[in-house]
Structure 1
């Protein structure tokens, strides 16, 4: 009789855990998608409208785009600060509370961008205010990723951590798809209407996104690993100091792993819009191809995460890194054909395959680098410092290289450098056998 009761109790606990994981997956995917929708809007707008509206310069339109991408870079420069602030709060007080705070800050700043007067209306204060708002967006996103990852990785069963943490990355892809689709729709407006008020609509929609996101996040539970941690592990006075003093190697590994994933993604789906305009390819075609590729990646991320549970995190990450090394030059060759079919192939190889393999395993492989007492800080800081040198400076550097050389080969070399640095980091990580042990 006691055995039956015990089995029923275990069955009930397993069912409850499965139900909680479903709730966490839904909350993570939707919450991240809504958060990153806001953040990605700036990238598309920087490529399409912010140059002439907020950074008007005479002559080459690429110059205005370069200045717009400088604001893009500011958001990335702010992300480590957000990682420090929200990593501290998440390690000391609450993962859940911190995620509500990041979403609130992101929603508010994005909505205000949609109301911002242009340079013609407000002069120099227009670009300055835009850059300040982008900085605040960066602070919010700097605390978002690490917390979203930990809500899954610290609650998932050990045998399926790769699969479950991959769901958090689907939210990132979903956010891009939403933002790209929003701009795709408003671009259907007449050019004058789009430039005057149509571009504002995707930003103003963030108020709805904010309300939905906060509701979702208020109804999830706190991280299990965090609540079960020893008090002395959960309340380090300054987690950042412990991280830098005791785990510098892990921090450098996280930064290096971030470089090719983030650098490739922003060059593939942000700089490619600029490159397409420069070589005379339809903006609608390039945005359409990127959106389709990201839709496929939305699902391929789960495949890569599940595969990492079977063959290990390192082998899957190697697939993405080696794939990027091989694709760095052919990507732009395919784009330069101007043929939609070849453009689509370039995006599918670059995003669902190369980028997908890296981003699908990144949450789990980075989480394993740090102990629970500094895990939020380590994830956030490693992820965001890496983003400065890849996603932040990458598109701006790519535009500068395009202006200087009027060719794509320097950008291909940049992608290869990112991949080689990650290769070095991967070689210093434990093997698959050691992971299992």
Structure 2
């Protein structure tokens, strides 16, 4: 590759990374806005007024869980499409679905207006959100990592991962601004504004995504006509152990629902924090997450990934439980300090995990494998997290059980990640076992040859870097 081609490849990689970041920011804004509203208002707006507050909150969190239950469906549908027709097309579809569903939530009548149809409609729209985000995450990771220069896949996947704290921060800031409204106005119409804003954000995202190029790996697969007829079946038949380990790797990233969705409800309804005060605590923690999260991808790219993971996860065993007791003090700066410290370990882990999991599957089933792993964990752990926490609190009246549960998430993730790295390889500079299999297959077969080029023999394919996208 000459200097001009090298520069063009890096420009394309940067464009893919930035586009992934902007797109995932918009998708996660929509998803997290629902979580904040579920903690603050949905129990009052979409359920009978005579319910006990704890019960109404629990029902609100159950509607939140509906989105997580739907995410594996999105992972299967869009994983299939992404492995068959390409990553770009699926990302455009998921963005439209998410934007339409979110905007419609902002227009929903309340329980007082249409009765039981209000929570039913809310759950339906939440399911559409879940399907959309279920297909979004894997595609965004892959469009960035597969377009990256060789050996930089984990670092470029971190662009897509940055969309989560950015979207969460944006949603929290919008709700923070609206918290200045009188409580009756916020309940009547103020909470709807963040959802209606989604329509404008989606238009911006669409312009960017329509200009995006397909990833190099996927273009090569389509050109060689090696797409799989039913990717989901091949994943479950040949890579089911990797899928289960991948799902087991991810519980730690869902502790964000302990410290945002659940903690927001707990702090404002039982500990005496005002809505704006605790939202500001979350905002500060999200800024810390946005800053520190890429360090995880950098760390695993510079050292043995096993050591890097241990360094990232071990502090979580102590810091996440400590956060709950810091919040329980009722002292603002202690709560801020505790939440910021607890944010760093799982944020760094999240910054690295997308790129690591992308290395675990071969190109032809990578979208399906990555999506199913992530969404399986979301189904079992993500949406259940605030429900679990609220249930523990309702039954025990103590935060101790919630703190213990958060530490257990970190333990499961650490064990599964070490087992996964043992199978796929633990050096980011080397090809993973799946990537090496792709490279070996490519080297064995002549590439399709444009009319103005000489044929490429298998040996030449080896000499010319058979896996240039990584």
Classify the TM-score, shorter chain: over 0.9
- 1:91–1:234: 8 Å Cα contact kept in structure 2? no
Alignment RMSD: 1.6
Q: Please state if 1:421 is matched with 2:412.
A: yes
Counterpart among 167, 176, 179 of residue 171 in structure 2: 179
Match of 1:212 among 201, 204, 213: 204
Please report how far the alpha carbon of residue 57 of structure 1 lies from its aligned counterpart in structure 2 after TM superposition. 4.8
TM-score with structure 2 setting the length? 0.88
Distance 1:227 1:59 in 2: 55
CA distance in 2, matches of 1:81, 1:157: 32
Which residue of structure 1 lines up, in the alignment, with residue 391 of structure 2? 400
Larger Rg: 2
Q: 2:119 aligns with which of 114, 127, 134?
A: 127
**Are 1:148 and 2:140 matched, yes or no?**
yes
Bigger Cα displacement from structure 2, 281-290 vs 109-118: 281-290
Q: Is the 8 A contact 1:160 1:306 kept in 2?
A: no
The alignment status of 1:274 with 2:260, answered yes or no, reads: no
What is the CA distance between 1:233 and its match in structure 2?
Answer: 7.1
Distance in 2 between residues matched to 1:167 and 1:227, nearest whole Å = 21
Structure 1 position 436, deviation (Å):
4.3
Distance of aligned partners of 1:216 and 1:433 in 2 relative to their CA distance in 1, 3 Å threshold: closer
Partner of 2:7: 15
Preserved CA contact (<8 Å) 2:301 2:429 = no
Find the aligned partners of 1:209 and 1:415 in 2 and give their Cα distance. Answer: 33
Runs (4 or more) in structure 1 with deviation over 6 Å come to none
| CA–CA distance in structure 2, aligned partners of residues 104 and 307 of structure 1 | 35
Contact 1:321 1:423 in 2 (8 A): yes
Match of 1:92 among 72, 84, 87: 84
d(CA) in 1 for partners of 2:305, 2:401: 31
State the 1:323 CA deviation.
2.0
TM-score by length of 1: 0.94
Q: 1:417 and 1:12 mapped to 2: Cα distance?
A: 50
- Structure in which a larger fraction of residues adopt helix: 1
1:372 aligns with: 363
Report the Cα distance in structure 2 between the residues aligned to 1:40 and 1:328, rounded to whole angstroms. 20
Structure 1: any 5+ residue segments left out of the alignment? 1-8
Change (3 A) 1:63 1:168: same
Q: Give the Cα separation in 1 of the matches to 2:27 and 2:229.
A: 28
Structure 2 runs not aligned, ≥5 long? 431-470
Q: State how far apart, in whole Å, the 2-side matches of 1:384 and 1:216 are.
A: 25
Taking the aligned partners of 1:48 and 1:249, their CA distance within structure 2 comes to 39
What is the DSSP-based 3-state SS (H/G/I as helix, E as strand, rest coil) of the residue aligned with 2:395?
Answer: helix
Shift of 1:388: 1.7
Partner of 1:243: 235
1:386 matched to 2:404: no
For 1:427 and 1:191, how far apart are their aligned partners in 2?
48
The alpha-carbon distance between structure 1 residues 233 and 311, as it changes in their structure 2 partners (threshold 3 A), is farther
User: How many correspondences in the alignment?
Assistant: 427
